[in-house]
Amino acid sequence: MDYNYTALVLGIPLIIIILLGNILVCLSVLTEQSLKTPTNYFIISLSVADLLLATLVLPLYVYSEFLGGIWTLSTLTCDALMSMDVMLCTASILNLCAISVDRYIAVAVPLTYSRNRFSARQLLLITATWVLSMVVASPVIFGLNQVPGRDPAVCKLEDDRFVVYSSVCSFFVPCPVMLFLYYWMFRGLRRWSARSRSQTDTARHQAFSLHFGAALHQANTPQQPNKAFGAASELSPTAPPRTNTRTASHAEQNLDGVAVVAESDPVTAQMNSVSDKQPAEGGRMRRGNSSNSSARKQRRSSSKTSRVSRKERKAMKVLPVVVGAFLVCWTPFFVVHVTKVLCKSCDIGPTLISVVTWLGYVNSAVNPIIYTAFNAEFRTVFQKMMCCHT
């Protein structure tokens, strides 16, 4: 028997990288307060799928590849391996699809989206992801792979119809849905950004006009040369309207607040536009103090919302890279396997199948690298945890 030592050289480091990287991702989100966002809980679910793949599937696959593709264990173990392989691959793509649904809800229905805590909707999405993954993979463990004339020395999916069915459910249906949702989400964000920039420019123009008018009025008003008449001049109807200057200054401060909101996402903008409304007229002093206190609380609340929004925007910048890496790694696998079933005359050898399978498994090690490279908060927490353990 010829042993394939390349499988060991590639497989063992790959398993170690997947385990260490995804354990770091899970611990980072669970222990670091700044990373506890709804999006990152979906990333934990994705990391769990990768961890299970490295624990339950890859060791047996590497063992089989080391023996030259010959299966020496029982057919029941093979069926369990095939079931876990299909289920965890399906869980990965459905987790990415669930993230796209959650992000789309955050943009399309922002006022009903819970941004500060893990909501029942997100728990339902993650639960549905794993339940659907088990449903897709269940036919194998219930005996679909037990076909007459099966070769016990080869571990593979024996039913060609199931290969097509699982590929459609695991990849060819979720991927277009996910890409469609991301397309509409980023299209909506671009439209909102253009509209918010236009509104910000209008607000700046109004504040500048108010400030310029107050300054012009002050310049045209004759000044009293005698300081003794200072108090009287302040009470004079022709005195400069200082309150207008303060109002202009306050308008500029509010304008800065609008500019900050304009840089955030639509959820923050709509929530802040609701929470920042203040009474138009002051009335009595007690009423004014109450309004100021309420305004301060609302500004603190909107500031907290803006911080959460910035965290999630950072996560959203990473997600397209994660989706792109998944498509690059897994598209060849599904295309090759479906082509082999549907095109009997196509010459698809075991070497090509082995290459696309390894490429798919590499994706489980890529995600933690992407988080580290494209998200500064993940990178900081990773470095902190690595230093603490060393």
pLDDT at position 272 is 41
> CB neighbours (10 Å) of residue 223?
9
**pLDDT tens digits for range 253-274:** 443 333 333 333 433 333 343 3
CA angle 36–179–28, rounded 5-degree value? 20
- The secondary element (H helix, E strand) that includes residue 64 is helix 58-66
Q: What is the pTM of this model?
A: 0.70
**pLDDT tens digits for range 302-339:** 444 444 455 555 556 677 888 889 899 999 999 999 99
Report yes or no on 149 lying in a domain: yes
Long-range (24+ apart) CB contacts under 8 A made by 267-273 are 267/106, 267/107, 267/110, 267/111, 267/113, 267/115, 267/305, 267/309, 268/302, 268/305, 268/306, 268/309, 269/192, 269/196, 270/110, 270/111, 271/110, 271/111, 271/302, 271/305, 272/302, 272/305, 272/306
Domain identity same for 145 and 245:
no
pLDDT at position 353 is 92
Report yes or no on 313 lying in a domain: no
Count up the domains in the chain and report the number.
2
Range of the domain at 273: 193-277+293-305
CA 326 to chain centre: 14
Domain identity same for 129 and 235:
no
Report yes or no on 331 lying in a domain: no
Domain identity same for 143 and 30:
yes
Domain identity same for 224 and 116:
no
Report yes or no on 316 lying in a domain: no
Mean pLDDT by 10 residues, the chain (390 residues): 87 95 92 84 93 95 92 93 94 90 78 63 90 94 88 91 93 90 79 67 68 68 52 46 46 40 38 40 46 52 46 63 89 94 89 93 90 81 76
pLDDT at position 111 is 57
Domain identity same for 123 and 24:
yes
Which domain CATH number covers 41?
1.20.1070.10
Which structure tokens are listed for 245? 């200057």
Report yes or no on 338 lying in a domain: no
Domain identity same for 230 and 167:
no
- The secondary element (H helix, E strand) that includes residue 2 is none
pLDDT at position 167 is 94
